[in-house]
Amino acid sequence: MRKKKTVIAKNYLLRVPARAEGLSWSTDTQGLVTLEVENTGWVNRLAQICFGRPRVSYIHLDAHGSFIWPLLDGKESILQLAQRVEERFGEEAHPLHERLARYFQILDSYHFIRWIETP
């Protein structure tokens, strides 16, 4: 008989995100953030040679993402960041927690953030 693994479920909103190391970004005059992602690896190199794909991709964040991105220093949880977004954007940010959870899932899927372990 196999043993069952015990999974401790943590509240997603209590997780603490931080920007991934080595990811370049800049802010334009309007305060919008652009992430600069270098396309590395042999598949990307082949696509650059054969199909003229760019060596660097630029990901432009919207106003909400541009507000959050500089705050990702690994010190505040998603819930704390949600409070700051609420103060800045008010009703415009709703449904706030669902949108933030999805935003961080997307950032995580592209490895743009890392998670800070909290006790």
Does residue 32 sit in helix, strand or coil? coil
Does residue 24 sit in helix, strand or coil? strand
Q: Which residues of 83-116 are buried (b: 16+ CB within 10 A; e: fewer)?
A: eebeeeeeeebeebbeebbebbeebeeeebbeee
Mean pLDDT (the chain, rounded): 89
Residue 41 confidence (pLDDT) above 90 = no
d(CA 72, CA 111): 14
Give the pLDDT band of residue 79 (cuts 50, 70, 90): very high
Q: Give the mean model confidence (pLDDT) for residues 50-72.
A: 93
Instruction: Detail the DSSP E strand segments found in 23-112.
Output: 24-27, 33-38, 56-60
Does residue 64 sit in helix, strand or coil? helix
The model's pTM: 0.82
Domain boundary assignment for the chain: 21-60, 74-110
In sequence order, the β-bridge partners of residue 18 are 73, 114
